[in-house]
Structure 1
């Protein structure tokens, strides 16, 4: 079964490219699978923090980590708090092509709201593109119980594997960058009981 996008992803890509300063290299903020599987060429990677947003395992995945009948979960970046991750610098000559390929991966169903945000790095702030999630999106899970998380971790599998593998890989990627996500670690302890 092919899922139809919530909206046309092409105008969102065109808007992101218009809002980028094409005279500069492009920065992309990773907070989930982009940390451990960026799947694009980059010239530099830095640890980064974005204020006003946080990583949350509250986005339904009906393709990559689940199916329409049995959705899995992936991370979204929700408003509020702060999010530690990494930024990738893509040379400006390759930026448009890289972003177009990234769009094919991240915006298949056009769920995310791409936003240019200030990412604070040890070398100073950069303006980076981040894939955020609205709480009004039909892909936002709302609050899930421990039992719901456990069932999803036990049963959800999609095109790229299970929700459990995705979360484990993200946690390991965060640790490799010395990022501690206490909420995620607590959630994994709860559902492993």
Structure 2
């Protein structure tokens, strides 16, 4: 089954990353709410990691986990040479799912797309390319780094139509702990004295 029916904007995105909308599937990496609430049909999900990125709560949320007056903080990835981020790769074969993701992550979320390699947790499986969404400092919802105490206060005080911002963080922690020790051991913050 091909991925005909994709939005023209998304096909351009795939082409720019040298990923063809044909053959029949695209792999997407989730490292935040996609891990526990993908919201789209998928044919396969694999646990694993990407390298060269670190998860940070630097992206604002003014709808799902906050408001314009009190933005919440949600995960994004920042490039770090030694970075490793665990999450899920989803195999998508339905163009409606890809269009949904583009709307959720790019149009509403302020994210942009990148392509990198995903290494499944099962060492017998080979690495493969995945598309991921990440926020950059030039989008209007970008909050950037902050001292840990300020970040925690902001998360504790924010609430959007999907619920409290703190629930988002706790869901991510639960997801990481339900996997195996290698995932739970991913560093949650920069070394002391650095901003999160």
Aligned-residue offset at 1:24? 4.1
- 1:139 CA displacement: 3.0
Structure 2 residue runs without a partner (length 5+): 1-6, 192-196
Correspondence 1:135-154 to 2 at 5 A: 135-154=137-156
The residue number in structure 2 matching 1:79 is 79
The verdict on how the C-alpha distance between 1:12 and 1:174 changes in structure 2, with shifts beyond 3 A counting, is farther
C-alpha offsets along residues 6-41 of structure 1, whole Å, 9 cap, x if unaligned?
xxxx77523234343211421010101000111111
Aligned to 2:27: 27
What SS does the aligned partner of 2:107 have? coil
Q: 1:130 Cα shift?
A: 0.2
Could you tell me how far apart the structure 2 residues matched to 1:65 and 1:83 are?
22
Look up the SS of the partner of 2:108 in the other structure. coil
Partner residue in 2 for 1:190: none
Aligned to 1:172: 174
Partner of residue 15, structure 1:
12
The answer to whether the 8 Å contact 1:46/1:87 transfers is yes
2:68 counterpart residue number: 68
Task: Answer 1 or 2: which has greater helix percent.
Answer: 1
> Would you say the 8 A contact 1:119–1:125 is kept in 2?
yes
Deviations 1:107-133 (A, max 9, x none): 233511211211111311111110012
> Which 5+ residue runs of structure 1 have no aligned equivalent?
1-9, 187-193
Total equivalences in the alignment: 174
Q: Is the 8 A contact 1:35 1:174 kept in 2?
A: no
1:72 to 1:43, Cα distance in 2 relative to 1, 3 A: same
Report the more deviating stretch, 74-83 or 150-159.
150-159
Distance in 2 (CA, whole Å) between partners of 1:173 and 1:75 is 14
Deviates further, 119-128 or 146-155 = 146-155
Contact 1:12 1:114 in 2 (8 A): no
C-alpha distance in 1 between matches for 2:100 and 2:110: 16
Task: Tell me the CA shift for residue 140 of structure 1.
Answer: 3.0
State which of 126, 132, 148 in structure 2 corresponds to 1:124. 126
Q: RMSD value over aligned CA atoms?
A: 2.2
Give the secondary structure class of the aligned counterpart of 1:107.
helix
Contact 1:78 1:135 in 2 (8 A): no
Distance of 1:150 and 1:128 partners within structure 2: 31
**1:182 Cα offset (Å):** 3.1
Q: Do the aligned partners of 2:50 and 2:117 also contact (CA within 8 Å) in 1?
A: yes
**How far apart, CA to CA, are the structure 1 residues paired with 2:130 and 2:9?**
16
Cα 1:173–1:11 change in 2 (3 A) is same
TM-score, normalised by the number of residues in structure 2: 0.79
